[in-house]
C-alpha cells in the first residue's frame, strides 16, 4: 500500500469533487474507461469526492460533462505540482542554489588544524612552522597535500618517529608519535609536567624544577603526575614552570608460562579409509559410510571430472581420505618442564625491560595444577620512570 502511495505522490494526483445525480453511473463509466480512482468518499447523495491521476482527469472531466454533472478541483497533490509551484518561485530556487553552492564552496577549505600525540613539542611550534610554510587554516584543500605536510614535518622535527596527515572534512588532522628527546634538545621555555611512564613504588625523587607531588614509598600509576610544573606563588596564583627531575621507582614485571606434563602426540598408523563424493559448483554430495576409526584426520582432495580447456564444467570428484591416528601420551620430566618454562618466562620479561635497569629481586614460582605446570617469574627492578610532557590543552 505504501509503495502505491509513494508512486501516486511521485506521479501527482488531483482531488476532485463531483456534483450530480447519477454518480454510480459515473463511477461505472470511469471503470469501463480504465480511469483509476481511489479514496472515493460519498459526501451526500449528490456529491462525491475522488482522487484521480492527472492523466485520468481529462477523461473523467469528459465523462462528467457527458452526464451533466458539475466538478470542482479541490487540491493538486504530489511532486509534479510542487515542482510546478517551485518553478514559479524563482528567488527561492536561486537562494537554494546559492546555499548549496556555499556549502560546497566552504567545504573546499581547511578550517582547522588538529595536532594529536605531542608530548615533548609544544603544539604552537608545529602550527607556527606549518604556517610559515603556507599551511594554515582557511587554505583551499586542493593546495595542501598530505605527503607534503608529512615530509615537511619530518624534515624539521627529525625526532618524530611517525606522522600521519589526514584531511577529515574541513579539518586537517595530524597524528604524531615522538621519540624521546635527548635532554639538551628540550626547549625549556615551555611548561612541562613529569609523569610516570610505568606503575611502580617510588624510591627516590629529585625535583630540579617544579613541585614534587610524590614521596618515597608511594605507589604511582601510569600517567600520574610526579613533578608538577604548576606552582603557586605566595599570593596563591598559579604559574607554570618547566618541571624537571629524576624519579626512580621499583617496578615489577611478571610473566607466566604453562605447559602440560603429559603431552599428546599424534601418530599415523598407516591405515587409510577412502570415500568418494561429487561436488557441483559449491555444493557437495557425500556418500556417507561409517568411518571405521576412532581417531582420524580428514584430508580432502578435489579433481575435475571433465578437464577440458574450452569449457569449465563445475563438476568435481572429491576423495575424502581418513587416516587413522594413534594418540600417544608422552610423560615429560617435571623438572625439565619447570626449567624450560622458567627460561621462556625470563625471555618474555627481558623483552619488556629497558637497558638501564637495575634488577633487585627475582622470584620464581612453580605450581602444578593437575596436568599443567604453571611457572610464574617475577622480576623487581629500579628504574627511572619520569617522563616529561608538555602542559597543554
32 binds other proteins (CB under 8 A): yes
Residues 313-352, one symbol each (x = binds other proteins by CB under 8 A, - = not), give ----------------------------------------
The span from the CA of 347 to the CA of 40, in Å, is 86
The sign of the dihedral angle between the CA atoms of 141, 147, 148, 154 is positive
37 binds other proteins (CB under 8 A): yes
Shortest spacing between CB 80 and other proteins, in angstroms: 22
The answer to whether the beta carbons of residues 229 and 243 sit under 8 Å apart is: yes
- Concatenated DSSP letters for 220-255? E-TT-EEEESEEE-TTS-EEE-B-EEEEEEEEEEEE
Q: Which CB atom, from 33 or from 166, has the smaller least distance to other proteins?
A: 33
Length of the chain: 393
The neighbour count for residue 60, using CB atoms within 10 Å, is: 23
Q: Which CB atom, from 37 or from 154, has the smaller least distance to other proteins?
A: 37
What is the DSSP pairing of strand 225-228 with strand 211-212? antiparallel
The neighbour count for residue 264, using CB atoms within 10 Å, is: 9
145 binds other proteins (CB under 8 A): no
Shortest spacing between CB 27 and other proteins, in angstroms: 5
- Here the cell at position 333 is 620430566
Instruction: Using CB under 8 A, pick the residue from 24, 158, 216, 363 that binds other proteins.
Output: 24
The span from the CA of 241 to the CA of 118, in Å, is 18
For helices 2-11 and 79-88, angle between their N-to-C axes, nearest 10 degrees: 30
Instruction: Using CB under 8 A, pick the residue from 15, 20, 27, 71 that binds other proteins.
Output: 27
Nearest 5°: CA angle at 234, between 229 and 239?
A: 30
What is the DSSP pairing of strand 13-19 with strand 70-77? antiparallel
Pick the piece of the chain touching other proteins (CB under 8 A) from 29-37, 259-267, 326-334, 359-367: 29-37
**In 3D, which of 116, 115, 122 has the Cα closest to residue 388?**
122
Shortest spacing between CB 78 and other proteins, in angstroms: 17
Q: Which CB atom, from 23 or from 130, has the smaller least distance to other proteins?
A: 23
Shortest spacing between CB 45 and other proteins, in angstroms: 7
**How many chain residues bind other proteins (CB under 8 A)?**
17
The span from the CA of 339 to the CA of 99, in Å, is 75
Instruction: Using CB under 8 A, pick the residue from 6, 11, 28, 158 that binds other proteins.
Output: 28
The span from the CA of 23 to the CA of 335, in Å, is 105
Q: Which CB atom, from 32 or from 309, has the smaller least distance to other proteins?
A: 32
Shortest spacing between CB 102 and other proteins, in angstroms: 46
Instruction: Using CB under 8 A, pick the residue from 14, 30, 174, 390 that binds other proteins.
Output: 30
Pick the piece of the chain touching other proteins (CB under 8 A) from 22-30, 59-67, 79-87, 213-221: 22-30
Q: Binders of other proteins among 40-79, rule CB under 8 A?
A: 40-42, 45, 48
Q: Which CB atom, from 42 or from 177, has the smaller least distance to other proteins?
A: 42
15 binds other proteins (CB under 8 A): no
Pick the piece of the chain touching other proteins (CB under 8 A) from 32-40, 122-130, 138-146, 200-208: 32-40
7 binds other proteins (CB under 8 A): no
Which phi and psi angles does 221 have, rounded to 5°? Answer: -100, 165
Shortest spacing between CB 24 and other proteins, in angstroms: 5
Tell me which H or E stretch contains 161.
Answer: strand 160-168
Shortest spacing between CB 94 and other proteins, in angstroms: 41
List Cα–Cα distances, 272 to 260, 288, 327, 362, in angstroms: 30, 16, 16, 53
Q: Which CB atom, from 27 or from 152, has the smaller least distance to other proteins?
A: 27
Provide the binding-site residues for other proteins, judged by CB under 8 A: 23-24, 27-28, 30-32, 34, 36-42, 45, 48
Amino acid at each position: 500500500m505504501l509503495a502505491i502511495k509513494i508512486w501516486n505522490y511521485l506521479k501527482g494526483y488531483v482531488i476532485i469533487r463531483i456534483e450530480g445525480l447519477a454518480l454510480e453511473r459515473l463511477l461505472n463509466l470511469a471503470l469501463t474507461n480504465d480511469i483509476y480512482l481511489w479514496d472515493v468518499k460519498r459526501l451526500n447523495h449528490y456529491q462525491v469526492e475522488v482522487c484521480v491521476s492527472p492523466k485520468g482527469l481529462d477523461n473523467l472531466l469528459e465523462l462528467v460533462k457527458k452526464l451533466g454533472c458539475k466538478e470542482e478541483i479541490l487540491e493538486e497533490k504530489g511532486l509534479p505540482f510542487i515542482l510546478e509551484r517551485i518553478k514559479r518561485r524563482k528567488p527561492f530556487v536561486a537562494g537554494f542554489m546559492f546555499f548549496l553552492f556555499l556549502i560546497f564552496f566552504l567545504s573546499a577549505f581547511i578550517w582547522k588544524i588538529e595536532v594529536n600525540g605531542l608530548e615533548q613539542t609544544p603544539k604552537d611550534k608545529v602550527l607556527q612552522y606549518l604556517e610559515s610554510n603556507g599551511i594554515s587554516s582557511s587554505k583551499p584543500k586542493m593546495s595542501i597535500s598530505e605527503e607534503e605536510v608529512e615530509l615537511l614535518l619530518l624534515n624539521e622535527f627529525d625526532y618524530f618517529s611517525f606522522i600521519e596527515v589526514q584531511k577529515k572534512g574541513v579539518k586537517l588532522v595530524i597524528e604524531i608519535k615522538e621519540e624521546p628527546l635527548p635532554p639538551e634538545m628540550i626547549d625549556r621555555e615551555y611548561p612541562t609536567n613529569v609523569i610516570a611512564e610505568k606503575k611502580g613504588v617510588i624510591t627516590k625523587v629529585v625535583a630540579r624544577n617544579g613541585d614534587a607531588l610524590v614521596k618515597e614509598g608511594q605507589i604511582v600509576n601510569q600517567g600520574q603526575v610526579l613533578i608538577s610544573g604548576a606552582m603557586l606563588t605566595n599570593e596563591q596564583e598559579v604559574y607554570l614552570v618547566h618541571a624537571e627531575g629524576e624519579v626512580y621507582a621499583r617496578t615489577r614485571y611478571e610473566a607466566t608460562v604453562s605447559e602440560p606434563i603429559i603431552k599428546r602426540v599424534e601418530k599415523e598408523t598407516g591405515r587409510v579409509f577412502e570415500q568418494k563424493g561429487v561436488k557441483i559448483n559449491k555444493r557437495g554430495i557425500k556418500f556417507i559410510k561409517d568411518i571405521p576409526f576412532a581417531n582420524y584426520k580428514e584430508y580432502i582432495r578435489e579433481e575435475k571430472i571433465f578437464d577440458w580447456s574450452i569449457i569449465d564444467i563445475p563438476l568435481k570428484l572429491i576423495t575424502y581420505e581418513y587416516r587413522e591416528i594413534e594418540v600417544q601420551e608422552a610423560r615429560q620430566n617435571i623438572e625439565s618442564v619447570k626449567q624450560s618454562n622458567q627460561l621462556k618466562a625470563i625471555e618474555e620479561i627481558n623483552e619488556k625491560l629497558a637497558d638501564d635497569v637495575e634488577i633487585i629481586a627475582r622470584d620464581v614460582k612453580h605450581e602444578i595444577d593437575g596436568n599443567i605446570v604453571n611457572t610464574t617469574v617475577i622480576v623487581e627492578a629500579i628504574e627511572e620512570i619520569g617522563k616529561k610532557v608538555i602542559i597543554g590543552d
